[in-house]
Structures are given as structure tokens and as C-alpha cells.
A and B are shown apart, each in its own frame.
Chain A
Amino acid sequence: MSRAIQIRVSESVVRTVHVEDGIQSPLEMLPILAPDRMGELLAAELEAQGFLRDGDKATRSDPDGVVIEVDLKAATVTARIGESGQLAESIDRRANVAIERKDTVQAALRDDVRRELDERIAARTEALRREVTAKLENKLSDLRKELDRAVGRATIAALTERAASLGNIQSVVEDEAGNVTIKVKL
């Protein structure tokens, strides 16, 4: 008659994970002036909104971790967010088996525990990723409005420059709806 023994398998894992999400979109710039000049005007507007310019790129890192990068040459905006975390999980499992099957059961139990640990870490990583995505998604609506305003102001500046090249500007009037009237004396 075989003896029954209790097997105990204990495994733990600490994993550093990094999740990120991002989106790129074109900026609708009207070709009023040469692309380089349009980029300069947009850069000036973005700098007023806290962007730091580095060559053809204007970047801003917000306190919520979202990094916004505007490519002035390609007229695109990229918003991305990343987060790192250290995930720790441990599992302690016991089983009663006949002593002759000790090694087989122990190996199987250990495999099960490791698989479950991997699944738990994957689920927590996915949850973290969803959190990051939600944070970015919440930001986008405001960001779109902010960038639309910057592009609008850059467009007005471009129109004013273009008007100045045609003659003497008499007046620039902007109404509440955002329509701009530029009077030029030729």
C-alpha cells in the first residue's frame, strides 16, 4: 500500500512591464503660404501654448503623461502615452498524492502554477494598457480643439501676411464666430 504525501509548490514572479498607446493624425493646414512658412507660423502658435520647438518638431509633455509631438514639416500630430509598472504575483498550491507519483505531480503542478502566473501578469498588463488608452482617449477631444485653434490662428497670421504682400492692410476684424475680415488698400 502506497503512502500519501502532500506536495506544496510555491512560485512568485516580479515583472517590469511597459505599456504604451498612441495615435497620429494629419493637421489640416491650408496652403496659403509656402509650407516652410506655414510651419513657422504654426510653431509660433504652438510655442505660445507651451510646446518646445526642436527643429521641425514641437513637443509638449503634459502632467498626465501624454506627450504631444507636432511634425511641422509633415503637418502631423502624434499623441502618445506610456506607463511602466512593476507587477508582482505569487501562487502557493498544495496537492495530496501517492509517494510514487510525487515527481510527476510536482512537475505538473509547477507548470500549472507558472502558466497561471503568466496569465495573471498578462491580464494585469492588459488592464494597465486599457487604463493608459482610456487616459489618452479622454485627452483627445480637448487636444483636437486646442490644435484646431492653433491651426486657425496660424491660418489667420498666414492670411494677414499674404494680404500685406498685396497692399496696405487697413484693418483686421475678427467676429465672435471666428470669421476674419482683412481690408487691404492696393
Chain B
Amino acid sequence: MSQRDELEDQGELAIPQVAQSEHDLLMLARALVAGPDSRDDIWSLLCATRQVAPKIGPTCANLLEDTLRQVWRSLWQRGGTQPRASYPLDGRGPVRGRLWERYQPVELAFSSATLQLLRWLVQTPFAAPASTYAKLPATKLTVGDQVMVYFALDAARATPALQAIAAQPFVQAAPLAWLGFATYLAAGEHGVPAFDSLTEGAGPIVIEALSGELARRWQASELAKRSITNPAELIELGEAQDAVLTGWFDACDRSRRRDLAGFVLDAIAPLIEREVSPSPLELEPGAPLSVRARARTSAGSLLRAVTRWHAWDQQHRGVRFIDDDYAVAQLLLARFERIGSAGIARVNGWLADLASLAPLPPSDTVSSSEGNRIS
């Protein structure tokens, strides 16, 4: 008898058996966690609608637990491997290294809400009209649950399901979803939730891992504003972004983790370098001037966040060598260096132009120093 046969007899190589609906649920969970590395066609998975029993079996529960254990790994792959500096509030002061070197191991907790989300994703017929979807009610979410919501939105970003997922009260209750996908959540009926859950426990580690992605998303959103012509759409987006950034900056300030708002600087820096303002190229000329002016002012949400960073920067400059927070202040000063006084002058100029009586028309395309053109 071969070794394989012996293991099979002992049940160690037996393929776990689960119901078909549980299989779909597990496949979806694995695709979400794998993220960009997933080889599954997410749209096919979302469209393969199947009723899921109210309870899952123990085999499925174990497999789901195994899948969720890979979430940390997935976060490392999304940006946790880059050596950086941060200051976890565990008394060690600023720490440099990869994300797992900067933080002590922390549990990433998931609740039944994750299962609720996966069940809804499997049961919802995304190929059918949105009016036929069942609502996914809001519930209390752990940081782990929020990460799964983020992964779901990220996986669906290129599919028609994105709007439907973003509109769910469950998703709108996830602060992490707002940080990453404010553009899509802005149209929802629910307000921006509090962000404090993301500045304590596992929250900061998640944010640091996703920092690069968040910066890219906010940058893309700024570029997209240039082509918005409907003032109402721009007002809705800008006001939602203002609420998100104000809430996030307040939460970072309260928890003394201003570095967590660093993705805002990473988002704006390339736009400053290439002189690309978020000013809309053309708003509907028939709309009232008051509405167009409000829309233009709303477009400056990220710029206003940068001016708040600038105010912080001024405070950091005042921290002396003998002060307790000197090392942290130096780290934050280095973070803002990329923007500098020239960058903040440009940001203030853009804000003034957005609020101007007769704004100057922005150029259609802007040449960068490398010769790339951004429209």
C-alpha cells in the first residue's frame, strides 16, 4: 500500500464535501481575498446566483476560516511589503521596515457579517435589474468585515455590480469602503460613518497596507472630476469626499496617528508635479451660475485636505528636540516634504481659482516633465 493510499484511508487526503451553494460561497470568498491575483472571472461568479441555506455546515465553516486567514497575506501583497516608517503607539516610537516588522501581531477579527455579505453576493442576481435585488441591511462591522467589503468593491470595480454593491446600507456602514470608494458610495442615501475603528487595533495596519491603493484611487477620482459636466454630480461627489476626509483627519488626529492620512499627500503629489488641477473642464453652461460655482468649490475636496495637512505641518515644525513627540514630528515633516511650500502655494492657487468669480478655463491636457499627457 502506497503512502498516499494510507493517508487517504486515514482521511487526511479526502476532498472536503460541501453543498453546491457552500461551494459557490467559498469560491467567491477565495476570489475576493486573492484580489488582483485571482484567476476567477468575478463577473461570472457574481452572476452565478444560488440560494444559500440559512446556516453553513462545519466543513464549509472550516474552509471559510482557512480562506479568511489569507486576508493578512493578501494585505501584505497589496502594499504591506514596502519598507516604510510608521509609529505604532506601542511605546517603540517610529519604526522602519516592512509592515510586519513595524507592528506587533494583531488579530484581524471577522464576525458573522462577513458571512452575511458573502451570502448576499452569492444570492443576488447581478445580471438582473437592480430593482430586483434584496437589500443588505447595515450592521456592526469589525475591521475584518470592512476589509472584506473593501475587497468586494475592489473585485467588482470593473463590473456593473459595483454600483449595486456600493448602494447597500451594509457597505455604506463600512468606513473603509468610504475611504477607498467614496466616488461610488457618494450617491447612497446613508451618511459617512465614524472612522475611529480604523485608527485602533488592526485598523492602522490595514490602512498602511492599503495606503498605496487608496492614494491611487483618490488620484483617479481627482482626474475624473475634470471630465464631469453635471454640476449636481460634482457637488454630490465633492461633498461626500469632504465629509470622508474631514472625518478621517479628525479620527487620525484624535488617535495621534496623523501618518495614516498620508495617502492624501501621495495622491496629490503627482498632480502638483504635473500641474493637473481638479477643476472641471466644462460644466453644463445652462445650469445656474450659483450651482456651477458650488460644484467648482466642491471639486476642491482633496485640496482642502492638503491644506489641513499643511496646518499640521506648521505644528510639527514647532516641536522641539526636547519634546516627547520630536521623533514623530520629524517623521511627519519628512512625509510632507514632497509637497513643500511650492506645492501648497499651487494648491492654494487652485482653490482660489475654483472659488473665483470668473475662473480661468483649465487647459484640456497638461504636459508633464516626462512628456506624458494627462487629460
Q: How far is B352's CA from A136's CA once the two chains are assembled, in angstroms?
A: 20
B303 interface contact, C-beta 8 A: no
Task: Report B221 CB to chain A, min CB distance, Å.
Answer: 25
Task: Report A35 CB to chain B, min CB distance, Å.
Answer: 18
A121-149 interface code vs B (CB 8 A; 1 in, 0 out): 00000000110010011001101100100
Q: Is the CB of B286 within 8 A of A144?
A: no
A42 interface contact, C-beta 8 A: no
Contact of B286 among A22, A25, A130, A141 (CB under 8 A): A130
B356 CB contacts on chain A under 8 angstroms: 25, 144
Q: Is the CB of B289 within 8 A of A133?
A: yes
B106 interface contact, C-beta 8 A: no
A143 CB contacts on chain B under 8 angstroms: 357-358
Q: How far is B308's CA from A183's CA once the two chains are assembled, in angstroms?
A: 38
Q: Is the CB of B288 within 8 A of A141?
A: no
| Given known contacts A77-B357, A143-B357, A147-B357, A23 and B293 CB-to-CB distance under 8 angstroms | yes
Q: Is the CB of B289 within 8 A of A26?
A: no
Q: How far is B4's CA from A171's CA once the two chains are assembled, in angstroms?
A: 101
A22 CB contacts on chain B under 8 angstroms: 289-290
B286 CB contacts on chain A under 8 angstroms: 130
Q: Is the CB of A25 within 8 A of B288?
A: no
Q: How far is B292's CA from A137's CA once the two chains are assembled, in angstroms?
A: 11
* B289, B290, B356, B357: residue with the most chain A Cβ atoms closer than 10 Å: B357
Task: Report A60 CB to chain B, min CB distance, Å.
Answer: 14
B228 interface contact, C-beta 8 A: no
A79 interface contact, C-beta 8 A: yes
Q: Is the CB of A144 within 8 A of B358?
A: yes
Q: Is the CB of B357 within 8 A of A144?
A: yes
B355 interface contact, C-beta 8 A: yes
Task: Report A20 CB to chain B, min CB distance, Å.
Answer: 9
Contact of A140 among B290, B355, B358 (CB under 8 A): B358
Q: How far is B286's CA from A147's CA once the two chains are assembled, in angstroms?
A: 26
Q: Is the CB of B358 within 8 A of A26?
A: no
Task: Report A49 CB to chain B, min CB distance, Å.
Answer: 15
Contact of B290 among A21, A130, A141, A144 (CB under 8 A): A21
Binding site for A on B (CB under 8 A): 286, 288-290, 293, 352, 355-358
Q: List, sorted by A's number, 15 A–B pairs whose CB atoms are closer than 8 Å.
A: A21-B288, A21-B290, A23-B289, A23-B290, A23-B293, A26-B352, A28-B352, A79-B357, A129-B288, A130-B286, A133-B289, A144-B356, A144-B357, A144-B358, A147-B357
